Structure 1
Amino acid sequence: MRARTKARKRALDILFESEARGADPLVVLKERQETDDAPPVSDYAAMLVTGVVERQERIDELLAEHAEGWSVARMPSVDRTLLRIGIYELLWVDEIDDPVAITEAVELARTLSTDDSPRFVNGVLGRISDLADHIRPGLA
């Protein structure tokens, strides 16, 4: 597994755990960075967690707008978390090409979520990618 793929999975683990525990994701991130018994948290994984947390309100607005037939709260937790990471990469991480961000999210959905999740994740991220050039200028 490539380094960034591992980082995405680690970021997913941290964000998913924090949501399940009702804990602040940045506190969970810090806990995971300080423990020796867990897989290491790479700089890229930490950047993903921090970025998603800092922009979650806007990310969730985009999710609500582009996840046809699904509210953010109703989405399976793994899918919602993968989509948040994917949207963050699409819109705020310049060194990652859109197809790579989408493919990585879809592959994690295939491995970690339901049979319908890869298609759902691909569809939502694809719609946002198609509109990214129009969305990016309005981002802070």
Structure 2
Amino acid sequence: MNTRKRTREIAMELLYQNTMNERDVKETIADYFETSEETTMDQVDLVYLETVLAGVEEKKEELDALIEKYLVGWKIQRLSRINLSILRLATYELLHMEDIPPKVSITEAVDLGKKYSEESAAPFINGVLDKISKHNEEPAPQEDESSSVSDTLSE
């Protein structure tokens, strides 16, 4: 297993743990390495791990609002904590980590769903993240220059 894939898996596990007991990100990571068989991590992967854990924690309300927007017939409170952790991780990557292609974030999240959740989770996760990815690609509305010029002229 490549190191980023494994690091993403660890990030999801730690996000899941933090849904159970809210703790400081650095504390969570330190505890993980104290109790895990994994004793070292590449510096790049450690930075990724710290970035996504802190980022998800900081942007949790924004992430949850966007996730809930694309849950068809569901409320975020009804999601399993593991699926919510996977969705938060991937949504954070889609919105805030430009160096990770959206397809990679979605594929990795689907793989995590297959490994850690029920059978129906993978297509569900894929559907939600695909909608979020398309939402993220929408260009920001631009002010119509002709109307602002005419507004200025009429003043």
Larger of the two Rg values belongs to structure: 2
8 Å contact 1:59–1:87 — kept in the other structure? yes
Residue 56 of structure 1 corresponds to 60
- In the TM superposition, what is the alpha-carbon distance from 1:38 to its structure 2 partner? 4.4
SS at match of 1:73: helix
Per the alignment, residue 99 of structure 1 pairs with 103
2:119 corresponds to which residue? 115
Taking only the aligned residue pairs, the percentage that are identical comes to 28
Q: Does 1:32 align with 2:32?
A: yes
Give the letter for the 2:126 counterpart. N
Taking the aligned partners of 1:128 and 1:59, their CA distance within structure 2 comes to 10
Matched position secondary structure for 1:67 = coil
Q: Give the length in aligned residue pairs.
A: 135
Q: Which runs of 4+ in 1 moved over 3 A?
A: 134-137
Structure 1: gaps (5+ residues): none
Which residue of structure 1 lines up, in the alignment, with residue 22 of structure 2?
Answer: 23
Alpha-carbon spacing, 1:31–1:136, altered in 2? closer, same or farther (3 Å): farther
The 1-side partners of 2:140 and 2:118 are apart by 30
Give the aligned partner of residue 125 of structure 1: 129
| 8 Å CA contact retained: 1:5, 1:104 | yes
CA RMSD of aligned residues (A): 2.0
**1:47–1:119 Cα change, 3 Å:** same
Q: In the TM superposition, what is the alpha-carbon distance from 1:25 to its structure 2 partner? A: 4.8
